[in-house]
Amino acid sequence: MQRLTEKEYYSLEATTLFSEKDNRCNNCFGFITIGEHNYKFSWNSNLIEPTIELLDSNIYGIGIDQHFCLLNSNNGVFNCWDLDTPFLYMIVYERYVIVICETNILLINLDISKIEKEYMFIEIISDVRLENRFMRITFINDSELDISIDDNNNPFVKLLN
């Protein structure tokens, strides 16, 4: 990722992935090339850097502030989502990317770039570990919760099919 000045960002001819809804909140500006495609994006917090990870042979994930995107390096297709709470990190599990946010978790199917489930909590998440299709979620108050990825009847899950 290359950092840009505000002037460079607005004059650059590249596909915009995401930016703050209120342009006055855009404090940071970035540019990336993935495959043969150029993208620019902006975000609010100058205290953190975007997370950019290769998730599959041709799929990249980008998360920062309240934004998350999946990019296909082969064809340039991308899907971006505005998040309800700040992005923390992502985990690849089987054919999913699990997007960990401050108080919610998204389960995104990598094959179709679609959110299948959202898990919503009151407490702030401090860690998520995966084992045998279970998520062990640790919150900042040190409480823990185990949730099966396959359980669609869990009170914390919202199905988004």
Give the pLDDT confidence score for residue 21 in this predicted structure.
67
Q: For the chain, what is the domain count?
A: 2
Q: Are residue 51 and residue 6 in the same domain, yes or no?
A: yes
- Which domain range does residue 58 map to? 1-82
Give the pLDDT confidence score for residue 154 in this predicted structure.
80
> Is 22 exposed, middle or buried (CB count within 10 Å of its CB: 0-12, 13-18, 19+)?
exposed
Beta bridge partners of 89: 100
Give the pLDDT confidence score for residue 24 in this predicted structure.
62
Residue 12 DSSP one-character state: -
Q: Is the pLDDT of residue 158 over 90?
A: no
Q: Is the pLDDT of residue 22 over 80?
A: no
Q: Look at residues 156, 92, 94 and name the one whose alpha carbon lies nearest to residue 125.
A: 156
Residue ending a domain, choose from 61, 82, 103: 82
Q: Are residue 10 and residue 24 in the same domain, yes or no?
A: yes
Residue ending a domain, choose from 82, 100, 130: 82
Candidate from 13-27, 84-98, 119-133 with smallest mean pLDDT: 13-27
Residue ending a domain, choose from 36, 67, 82: 82
Burial 28-62 (b: 16+ CB within 10 A, else e): bbbbbebeebebbbbbbeeeeebebeebeeebbbb
Cα dihedral value 157, 158, 160, 161, nearest 10 = 60
Q: Are residue 60 and residue 132 in the same domain, yes or no?
A: no
Q: Are residue 144 and residue 77 in the same domain, yes or no?
A: no
- The CATH number given to whatever domain includes residue 126 is 2.40.10.480
Q: What is the pTM of this model?
A: 0.91
Question: Residues of the chain with pLDDT > 70: what percent?
Answer: 95
Phi and psi angles of residue 11, each rounded to the nearest 5 degrees, phi first? -95, -10
Task: Give the pLDDT confidence of 52-66 residue by residue, as tens digits.
Answer: 999 998 999 999 999
Q: Are residue 50 and residue 100 in the same domain, yes or no?
A: no
Q: Are residue 54 and residue 113 in the same domain, yes or no?
A: no
Q: Are residue 78 and residue 102 in the same domain, yes or no?
A: no
Residue 27 DSSP one-character state: -
Q: Are residue 93 and residue 71 in the same domain, yes or no?
A: no
> Is 70 exposed, middle or buried (CB count within 10 Å of its CB: 0-12, 13-18, 19+)?
buried
Residues 143 and 127: their CA atoms lie apart, in Å, by: 11
Q: Are residue 70 and residue 11 in the same domain, yes or no?
A: yes
Q: Is the pLDDT of residue 43 over 70?
A: yes
Q: Are residue 62 and residue 95 in the same domain, yes or no?
A: no
